[in-house]
Amino acid sequence: MVKDCIKQRPLAQQQLYQHFAPIMLGVCFRYTKSIQDAEDVLQEGFVKVFHHISTYNFTGELGAWMRRIMVNTALNYLKRNKKYRTEMVFAEMPLHPVSNQNPEVNLEAKQLAELIRQLPTGFQTIFNLYAIEGYTHVEIGQLLGISEGTSKSQYARARYLLIEWIEKYSSIKKQQQYAGK
Protein backbone atom coordinates (compact mmCIF):
# COMPACT_ATOMS: atom_id res chain seq x y z
CA MET A 1 0.00 0.00 0.00
CA VAL A 2 2.83 2.39 0.89
CA LYS A 3 4.62 1.61 -2.37
CA ASP A 4 1.43 2.35 -4.28
CA CYS A 5 1.08 5.57 -2.32
CA ILE A 6 4.61 6.52 -3.35
CA LYS A 7 3.44 6.02 -6.94
CA GLN A 8 0.58 8.47 -6.14
CA ARG A 9 -2.13 5.87 -6.80
CA PRO A 10 -5.45 7.30 -5.58
CA LEU A 11 -6.90 3.98 -4.48
CA ALA A 12 -3.91 3.23 -2.25
CA GLN A 13 -4.07 6.74 -0.84
CA GLN A 14 -7.73 6.26 0.01
CA GLN A 15 -7.01 2.93 1.69
CA LEU A 16 -4.22 4.45 3.75
CA TYR A 17 -6.48 7.32 4.73
CA GLN A 18 -9.35 5.04 5.72
CA HIS A 19 -7.03 2.90 7.81
CA PHE A 20 -5.28 5.67 9.70
CA ALA A 21 -7.69 8.62 9.67
CA PRO A 22 -9.67 7.69 12.84
CA ILE A 23 -6.58 7.25 15.02
CA MET A 24 -4.91 10.34 13.57
CA LEU A 25 -8.04 12.38 14.16
CA GLY A 26 -7.81 11.25 17.79
CA VAL A 27 -4.31 12.79 17.91
CA CYS A 28 -5.40 16.02 16.22
CA PHE A 29 -8.44 16.25 18.49
CA ARG A 30 -6.23 16.42 21.60
CA TYR A 31 -4.27 19.38 20.26
CA THR A 32 -7.19 21.53 19.15
CA LYS A 33 -10.31 23.02 20.70
CA SER A 34 -12.90 21.99 18.15
CA ILE A 35 -13.58 19.04 15.91
CA GLN A 36 -13.51 21.35 12.84
CA ASP A 37 -10.00 22.47 13.70
CA ALA A 38 -8.98 18.86 14.35
CA GLU A 39 -10.30 17.92 10.91
CA ASP A 40 -8.41 20.83 9.33
CA VAL A 41 -5.19 19.57 10.93
CA LEU A 42 -5.99 16.02 9.84
CA GLN A 43 -6.54 17.15 6.26
CA GLU A 44 -3.33 19.17 6.19
CA GLY A 45 -1.45 16.32 7.84
CA PHE A 46 -2.62 13.75 5.29
CA VAL A 47 -1.62 16.03 2.41
CA LYS A 48 1.86 16.15 3.97
CA VAL A 49 1.85 12.38 4.45
CA PHE A 50 1.09 11.78 0.76
CA HIS A 51 3.60 14.39 -0.28
CA HIS A 52 6.44 13.02 1.84
CA ILE A 53 5.61 9.32 1.89
CA SER A 54 8.61 8.59 -0.33
CA THR A 55 10.81 9.63 2.60
CA TYR A 56 9.33 6.91 4.83
CA ASN A 57 12.14 4.34 5.16
CA PHE A 58 10.03 1.30 6.22
CA THR A 59 12.13 0.78 9.35
CA GLY A 60 9.75 2.17 11.95
CA GLU A 61 6.02 1.77 12.28
CA LEU A 62 4.10 3.69 9.63
CA GLY A 63 1.55 4.75 12.25
CA ALA A 64 4.27 6.29 14.43
CA TRP A 65 5.74 8.13 11.44
CA MET A 66 2.32 9.50 10.53
CA ARG A 67 1.64 10.46 14.13
CA ARG A 68 4.82 12.57 14.19
CA ILE A 69 3.64 14.34 11.04
CA MET A 70 0.22 14.97 12.59
CA VAL A 71 1.76 16.35 15.79
CA ASN A 72 4.04 18.70 13.84
CA THR A 73 1.15 19.80 11.66
CA ALA A 74 -0.95 20.46 14.74
CA LEU A 75 1.83 22.54 16.30
CA ASN A 76 2.19 24.59 13.13
CA TYR A 77 -1.56 25.05 13.01
CA LEU A 78 -1.59 26.34 16.58
CA LYS A 79 1.27 28.73 15.90
CA ARG A 80 -0.32 30.34 12.89
CA ASN A 81 -3.92 30.35 14.05
CA LYS A 82 -4.80 33.52 15.88
CA LYS A 83 -7.27 32.04 18.31
CA TYR A 84 -4.69 29.51 19.55
CA ARG A 85 -1.80 31.93 19.45
CA THR A 86 -3.64 34.03 22.00
CA GLU A 87 -3.32 31.26 24.56
CA MET A 88 0.10 30.03 23.55
CA VAL A 89 1.83 32.32 26.00
CA PHE A 90 4.44 30.36 27.85
CA ALA A 91 5.67 31.74 31.13
CA GLU A 92 7.68 29.93 33.74
CA MET A 93 5.64 29.09 36.83
CA PRO A 94 6.65 27.74 40.23
CA LEU A 95 6.33 23.96 40.34
CA HIS A 96 3.05 22.96 41.92
CA PRO A 97 3.41 21.02 45.21
CA VAL A 98 0.89 18.34 44.22
CA SER A 99 2.40 17.62 40.84
CA ASN A 100 3.46 14.06 41.78
CA GLN A 101 -0.04 12.77 42.53
CA ASN A 102 -1.12 9.62 40.69
CA PRO A 103 -4.91 9.38 40.80
CA GLU A 104 -7.07 6.62 39.43
CA VAL A 105 -7.95 7.20 35.79
CA ASN A 106 -11.35 5.61 35.41
CA LEU A 107 -12.59 7.78 32.60
CA GLU A 108 -13.07 6.82 28.99
CA ALA A 109 -10.50 7.93 26.39
CA LYS A 110 -12.89 10.45 24.89
CA GLN A 111 -13.68 11.97 28.29
CA LEU A 112 -9.97 12.26 29.02
CA ALA A 113 -9.34 13.85 25.65
CA GLU A 114 -12.18 16.31 26.32
CA LEU A 115 -10.64 17.22 29.68
CA ILE A 116 -7.21 17.78 28.08
CA ARG A 117 -8.88 20.13 25.59
CA GLN A 118 -10.30 22.17 28.46
CA LEU A 119 -6.77 23.12 29.48
CA PRO A 120 -5.36 26.44 28.22
CA THR A 121 -3.69 25.86 24.86
CA GLY A 122 -0.14 26.12 26.21
CA PHE A 123 -0.79 23.60 28.99
CA GLN A 124 -2.70 21.38 26.59
CA THR A 125 0.13 21.31 24.08
CA ILE A 126 2.85 20.61 26.61
CA PHE A 127 0.77 17.96 28.37
CA ASN A 128 0.10 16.16 25.08
CA LEU A 129 3.71 16.31 24.00
CA TYR A 130 5.15 15.12 27.32
CA ALA A 131 2.58 12.72 28.76
CA ILE A 132 1.10 11.17 25.62
CA GLU A 133 3.71 11.56 22.87
CA GLY A 134 6.63 10.96 25.20
CA TYR A 135 8.78 13.94 24.24
CA THR A 136 11.29 15.14 26.81
CA HIS A 137 11.15 18.68 28.18
CA VAL A 138 14.31 19.52 26.22
CA GLU A 139 12.65 18.39 23.00
CA ILE A 140 9.48 20.28 23.85
CA GLY A 141 11.55 23.37 24.51
CA GLN A 142 13.12 23.06 21.06
CA LEU A 143 9.78 22.42 19.38
CA LEU A 144 8.00 25.37 20.97
CA GLY A 145 10.94 27.70 21.32
CA ILE A 146 10.80 27.80 25.11
CA SER A 147 13.19 26.81 27.86
CA GLU A 148 13.24 23.38 29.48
CA GLY A 149 12.25 24.97 32.80
CA THR A 150 9.23 26.67 31.28
CA SER A 151 8.12 23.37 29.78
CA LYS A 152 8.52 21.62 33.12
CA SER A 153 6.65 24.25 35.10
CA GLN A 154 3.84 24.48 32.55
CA TYR A 155 3.53 20.72 32.51
CA ALA A 156 3.32 20.55 36.30
CA ARG A 157 0.55 23.12 36.26
CA ALA A 158 -1.31 21.27 33.52
CA ARG A 159 -0.93 17.98 35.32
CA TYR A 160 -2.25 19.47 38.55
CA LEU A 161 -5.30 20.94 36.81
CA LEU A 162 -6.03 17.76 34.95
CA ILE A 163 -5.76 15.56 38.04
CA GLU A 164 -8.10 17.89 39.89
CA TRP A 165 -10.62 17.75 37.05
CA ILE A 166 -10.34 13.96 36.68
CA GLU A 167 -11.02 13.51 40.39
CA LYS A 168 -13.99 15.86 40.29
CA TYR A 169 -15.35 14.26 37.15
CA SER A 170 -14.88 10.77 38.61
CA SER A 171 -16.68 11.68 41.83
CA ILE A 172 -19.60 13.23 39.92
CA LYS A 173 -19.77 10.10 37.80
CA LYS A 174 -19.79 7.89 40.93
CA GLN A 175 -22.53 9.99 42.47
CA GLN A 176 -24.57 9.68 39.30
CA GLN A 177 -24.05 5.92 39.31
CA TYR A 178 -25.21 5.65 42.97
CA ALA A 179 -28.19 7.87 42.23
CA GLY A 180 -29.02 5.66 39.27
CA LYS A 181 -28.97 2.52 41.42
Partner 1 sequence: MQANEFENKMQQKLEAFQLHPSEAVWQKVQLNVAKEKEHKRKYLLISFLLLVLLASTLWVADLENHSASFNATAGNETGKVLPQEDAKIKLPMKPSSMNMQEMVTQTSINNNTDNKKQQQNIVTVTAGKRTYRKIQANTKGTAAINIFPAVVSEQPQEKSENSVAEKDQFIEKKMALGNETALGKGASVTQELNKQLPGATPIENNEAVKTVHPVSPKSKKQRWNTSFLLAIGKSATGNKYLGEKALADYYSNVGNTPTSGNNSGNNTPSATKGGFSFIAGFQLSRTLSAKSSVGAGLQYQLLTTSISTGEKINTQSAPGSAVAFQSGNSNRYTSFFHSITLPVFLSSQIATIKDRQINVGIGVNFSRLLYTNALLFDFAQGSYYSNEDVFNKMLVGVSGSVVINLAGKDKAPFYLGPDFNYSLTPLAATGMYSNAHVSFWGIRLQKMLQKNK
Q: Which residues bind partner 1 (CB under 8 A)?
A: 8, 10, 13-14, 17, 21-23, 25-26, 29-30, 35, 38-39, 42-43, 46-47, 50-51, 79-80, 82-83, 85-86, 89, 100-103, 105, 107-110, 112-113, 116, 130-132, 134, 159, 163
Residue closer to partner 1 (CB basis): 129 or 150: 129
**What are φ and ψ of residue 135, in 5° steps?**
-70, 155
Tell me the closest approach of the beta carbon of residue 40 to partner 1, in angstroms: 9
Separation CA 30–CA 118 (nearest Å): 10
Q: Residue 64 Cβ, how far from partner 1 at the closest point, in Å?
A: 11
Give 89 or 179: the residue with its C-beta nearer to partner 1: 89
H-run or E-run covering 155: helix 148-180
User: Among residues 106 and 179, whose Cβ is nearest to partner 1?
Assistant: 106
Nearer to partner 1, 94 or 134 (CB): 134
Nearest distance in Å: CB 80, partner 1? 6
Find out whether 48 and 73 touch, Cβ atoms under 8 Å: yes
Query: Among residues 135, 139, 116, 134, which one has the least CA distance to residue 32?
Result: 116
Query: In the bound complex, what is the minimum distance in angstroms from residue 79's beta carbon to partner 1?
Result: 7
Best CA proximity match to 137, nearest among 168, 159, 107, 164: 159
| Gap between the Cα atoms of 166 and 157, Å rounded | 14
